[in-house]
Structure 1
């Protein structure tokens, strides 16, 4: 198999780099300065235990990749960038006939739950991934992955889930084995959505910490997250959507994934924090807090905290605000004023 990593930023770079390190064929898809740095010097993947230089093939557009039936596509762009990426790749021809959308497996390696259905509109063979992978991309050519001994945990399953509880093991098992050899915990689960909704509840803090700073530094931010998460849990209960417990998540990670310092790495935050830090102009709040807002409106549950975070995070990204620049008191006032 060859892995085509569509979006070689923090998550895609960490997964693609580890797969390449363990001997798999990998193509990293990146743009601009990041692509130029990757081509010139290889991927620099920094972890708590090592600093790697990985000479991985790089493409900037689908036209640069000749697809074969043995390719696996990993969609690792932010969810707000999914449609453009999916449209660019779905109609690419595959050697022997057909298109990528018709023939190739596509794994959605993304936060949130919306990306899977966006992919299913364009690809026949879609697989869902619950992503537990702290990683940072702030400098072209460099990805920091601060967990050890394993770099991350990736639950893999069919999308949509099969009614009989089975899995497409013929497709997923070889991928899981490659990931396991590449320092990932990669369980195959028929109920991957339960894990993804649990992760979504945790990701409701992304916009909050990007706007107001880390919860660990300010108990008021942690208190706000409690309210944000309570809304999320109320919405999921109203929608009849189950999720795994924090205890189940922690038991599986156990001591396999421990955050440790990485030399010369900037102290940073989650993926939304990184979007503000890099000034990308967009942020994933519509598909994290916005997912709760959407479900709340469908099921008659008020979500003022998540609505406010979604709105303020989008404004901060569009206007180029620095991460951590919103006082938590301003956020609280905005909720009360709505």
Structure 2
């Protein structure tokens, strides 16, 4: 099985090592010092006291790799539009695209079944290019729950978690998604196939929509955001607005808002990805995590006053830092 991981950073690198050790024919697309280190020394994964090293093909030119069975996109969602043309050589007639990204994916309204069927969202897919040029019919949904980090170029440290729920937009258990899930399981990962993948997408986004921008504005870790009465209340208000929007699209939340906040609090002194990006001078993932919820609120005519206010502040913060 030929698999290309497009964006072999912290999560992509973790997947690359695990899948390569499970026997998949893995190629990694990366750049810069990380790519150079992987080419020279292989890709190293640190899990606890264990060290795993693999030597997959690594490149910054996807055209070298040819068509794949699966392309797993592990980029920040706002980066995908910029690499659409580079992805094309990886796509054969039957290639599936696995969207291992945060937020609402470009294919969200494919086989959705309501009046928004076939719609695109400008905040995450400007001009509908991903829909047209990658194709929603290729997509398999994937939610990323593990936490990993690049400890040094070519070195990934696993922090916690191994769960990657998968699902088709239609909810069916296709042969493709079953093959992919079986490979993930062989690689030591949890990969439940969900018949309602959108519910799980929103469950993760439910926390990201509030904790990420609040942390970027306050520099607080999850435990502080969820413990301080004022930021906990702010988070809850944003989450309730988000829940109203999602439920309009038929989403069912399997936990209530208080339990979701408590789950985040128990993670402890963790910096969200948006705060990490701000501190490291990297573009902040605002549109896929926050703006898209505002846009979907406009579609449903549900007011989002709290989201609007926090989004205005975090966008200004990112612009001042030159990261938006």
| TM-score (norm: length of structure 1) | 0.76
| Distance of aligned partners of 1:215 and 1:270 in 2 relative to their CA distance in 1, 3 Å threshold | closer
1:48-197 matched pairs, under 5 angstroms: 48-68=48-68, 71-90=69-88, 92=89, 100=91, 102-117=93-108, 118=125, 119-121=130-132, 122-123=134-135, 124-137=137-150, 139-147=152-160, 151-159=161-169, 161=170, 165-168=171-174, 170-197=175-202
> Within the alignment, does 1:241 sit opposite 2:250 as a pair?
yes
Contact conserved, 1:285 with 1:314, CA < 8 A, in 2? yes
1:1-338 matched pairs, under 5 angstroms: 1-68=1-68, 71-90=69-88, 92=89, 100=91, 102-117=93-108, 118=125, 119-121=130-132, 122-123=134-135, 124-137=137-150, 139-147=152-160, 151-159=161-169, 161=170, 165-168=171-174, 170-204=175-209, 205-212=211-218, 213-218=220-225, 219=228, 220-237=230-247, 239-246=248-255, 269-280=271-282, 282-320=283-321
Deviates more, 1:190-199 or 1:305-314: 305-314
- The offset of 1:153, in angstroms, is 1.3
| Distance of aligned partners of 1:259 and 1:235 in 2 relative to their CA distance in 1, 3 Å threshold | closer
| Distance of aligned partners of 1:196 and 1:302 in 2 relative to their CA distance in 1, 3 Å threshold | same
Contact conserved, 2:222 with 2:271, CA < 8 A, in 1? no
Any gaps of 5 or more consecutive residues in structure 1?
A: 95-99, 261-266, 323-338
Any gaps of 5 or more consecutive residues in structure 2?
A: 109-124
- The offset of 1:76, in angstroms, is 1.0
CA distance in 2 between partners of 1:60 and 1:268 (Å) = 31
| Distance of aligned partners of 1:101 and 1:2 in 2 relative to their CA distance in 1, 3 Å threshold | closer
CA distance in 1 between partners of 2:208 and 2:22 (Å) = 30
SS in 2 for 1:153: coil
| TM-score (norm: length of structure 2) | 0.80
Contact conserved, 1:128 with 1:158, CA < 8 A, in 2? yes
CA distance in 1 between partners of 2:107 and 2:36 (Å) = 30
| Distance of aligned partners of 1:19 and 1:79 in 2 relative to their CA distance in 1, 3 Å threshold | same
- The offset of 1:7, in angstroms, is 0.6
- The offset of 1:49, in angstroms, is 4.3
CA distance in 1 between partners of 2:279 and 2:18 (Å) = 25
| Distance of aligned partners of 1:215 and 1:271 in 2 relative to their CA distance in 1, 3 Å threshold | closer
Give the CA RMSD over aligned residues. 2.7
Q: How many residues are aligned here?
A: 289
